[in-house]
Structure 1
């Protein structure tokens, strides 16, 4: 640590606070010290840190949809940059959720906090998390509604009315009510669920192709699903967007590569924003405030990026 302090021109105490994410260091100094430490291949001995300050330097990250890669990547990168290990729990279905909450009590002894990425908890599940007595910060699943409104407005502006909605497996069907409220025609058989994979999108397209008629636009909650729908429709000889327009509610690189219109740009920043809120909670806790559930201030807003997969009806 003393070598890093000399190279950075700061005290050893400043290096220690900067690399542990503790208060008393400006953000500019924290970034600079972190860069110097990386160049010198220096890392904090976490075991010693834990003994000294009671920290585990680990955070549990809960997600129901690994398909939203930018959100998870933003959170994971910010945590690692702050010196925290990530314990990832994918609550994809009822069985995985039940197993997680069944094994939950010991988790509070292993982590400093919990970060929930677009996971909707029941009252009992939220109470169980609160009982861990560590900070819990959430990116609320309602954030998906902001993205859906943008997508709906875009297809409406292009003249589409008959729209299919493809949701992740853990999302309830009430989201189709938002599309109806926007003036779109969503038939019951056009509200579908899929795993957040390309194969899942291909299966969704098979269902739509087997129907008596195709919607003129498909809105997918996952970029991988949107890509699967795109590929399957093209294999069937359907034009995108000539026959069907496709919009994704997030924009992973593969979807961008083939030109899929997507709501994106802030999901990574939302992950980073949630981590900043969690680290702030941990700093306040170290100064004597009790942990709890926090939502923080307003996260960055999403925006629509129009590409070749959408066109006028």
Structure 2
């Protein structure tokens, strides 16, 4: 049975005229009362995502973007995609850089929702836990996740299929004669890190190759981190024929270390990256990598967020994977 304004008012402990003012944003309402009414509206599904509907009526339309870092990473292109769609629909963006910490992520979610009153948020960061979910539900602000698969039906997500992409890259190396394949995996972005590692393990296991513990080391998402991780790998008395890296930045750092220490790429060791950043085709030797459109991820995530804001729920898929493909360049060879 359809719920009425009177029932909403009773549950919220206010008058029907107050409920009407909240819904139509026609007159000022005490903030505590407004939130109480919005909570009842959401709980009863009277008007799904009513907070989004109301904020869209404001003159300034903001989308908050929360991410760990984006300079010289694949997130550069992702931000370009977000801004393209925001401009098309009349939105501005505001950035929150978190350094990959949960504390900062929660801070920006709260700041964007309560102080800046953004219409919605695009979140790139740690895998969500109860703290993230609780603060999102409390603030009623629509969110789209990038880089992980959402477990919440009302929160869609967009990314690349990291497991399949990694599986295909490592399988390519195996098909080209490599057996001792090491991996340098990133330390940030738990879901992405684990998914790319799982793809590596699955490819090795399916080929009947046992992965030794000292074949896998970790790195932050920088050239310096990749270089240090490559040094650690060789210090473990590992002499791989190929190294699969979680990102192109890590792969380029690893390549630099190898060449600085007298190794030839790919004659001595093949190196494979992930992300297809611009530098991957500019460095020498050029880097074999998994390429996908981060611009497309940003654009798709933003389109879905705007649909959420407009309550166009029937047009939103719970999760979307963008296409990926292997780009084979000079850093890998058959043996």
TM score, norm. by length of structure 1: 0.72
Aligned partners of 1:244, 1:298: CA distance in 2, in Å?
A: 35
- Counterpart pick for 2:148 among 128, 141, 165: 141
Structure 1 ranges of 4+ moved more than 6 A: none
Aligned partners of 1:268, 1:52: CA distance in 2, in Å?
A: 25
Matched, 1:280 2:284: no
Aligned partners of 2:126, 2:309: CA distance in 1, in Å?
A: 21
Select the structure of larger CA radius of gyration.
2
8 Å contact from structure 2 (residues 188, 221) kept in 1: no
8 Å contact from structure 1 (residues 136, 278) kept in 2: yes
1:131-180 deviation digits (Å, cap 9, x = unpaired): 22121111243632232122122212212222222222224574434323
The 3 A distance-change label for structure 1 pair 197 and 112 is same
2:74 maps to 68
Matched, 1:201 2:226: yes
8 Å contact from structure 1 (residues 119, 140) kept in 2: no
Match of 1:131, SS state, is helix
- Counterpart pick for 1:154 among 139, 159, 172: 172
For the aligned residue pairs, the C-alpha RMSD in angstroms reads 2.7
Match of 1:161, SS state, is coil
8 Å contact from structure 1 (residues 248, 262) kept in 2: yes
Match of 1:303, SS state, is strand
1:74-129 deviation digits (Å, cap 9, x = unpaired): 22443344333322233434xx3213314643421321101123642113312322
1:226-241 alignment to 2 at 5 Å? 226-241=251-266
1:196 Cα deviation from its structure 2 partner: 1.4
TM score, norm. by length of structure 2: 0.68
Count of residue pairs brought into register by the alignment: 255
8 Å contact from structure 2 (residues 243, 269) kept in 1: yes
1:57-78 deviation digits (Å, cap 9, x = unpaired): 2212122453323334322443
Matched, 1:107 2:94: no
2:203 maps to 182
8 Å contact from structure 1 (residues 57, 83) kept in 2: yes
Unaligned runs of 5+ in 2: 1-53, 150-160
